[in-house]
Amino acid sequence: MRFLIALTALATPVHAWDFSPTPICTLSHAEATADIAVTYDHATRLYAIAITSEDGWPSAPAFSMRFDGGQPNTISTTRHQTSGQTLTVTDTGFGNVLDGLAFNTTATAFTQTAAVTVSLAGAAAEVEKFRACATAPTA
């Protein structure tokens, strides 16, 4: 029986949060419902979040993210863009997004007619690496 449980655990895909400092600061995550990439570009001083959903993102007047867990919060914007299956938001500050990712258990990205929910398990340590990259001095 223990062998079957271990085998089942190994067969389950691992959906990890990953950080990369090059070519720009990038925090990424992929799972069945969506792929998420949060970036910071020192050259433009802009943060961006791109959420790609297999079902796409219909045109909508507003986009929101709800974070559920230890520090629940919902943030919204009308300054989003959709292109194909990807919805993107850029801004000069992403403190609420990064806090939401680091201190909660799930994130739900949604518009009036579409939504995806992703796990935030393992995100906190990668968010801290991302923050350090974004605030690191550049030459």
Share of the chain above pLDDT 70, in %: 88
Percent helix, strand and coil across the chain, each to the nearest 5: 25, 40, 35
SS3 103: helix
Q: Any residues with CB less than 8 A from the CB of 110 and at least 6 apart, and which? A: 63, 64, 65, 66, 116
Domains of the chain by residue range: 19-135
**What pLDDT is recorded for position 116?**
97
pLDDT tens for each residue of 117-134: 999 999 999 999 999 999
Say what the pTM is. 0.87
**What pLDDT is recorded for position 139?**
67
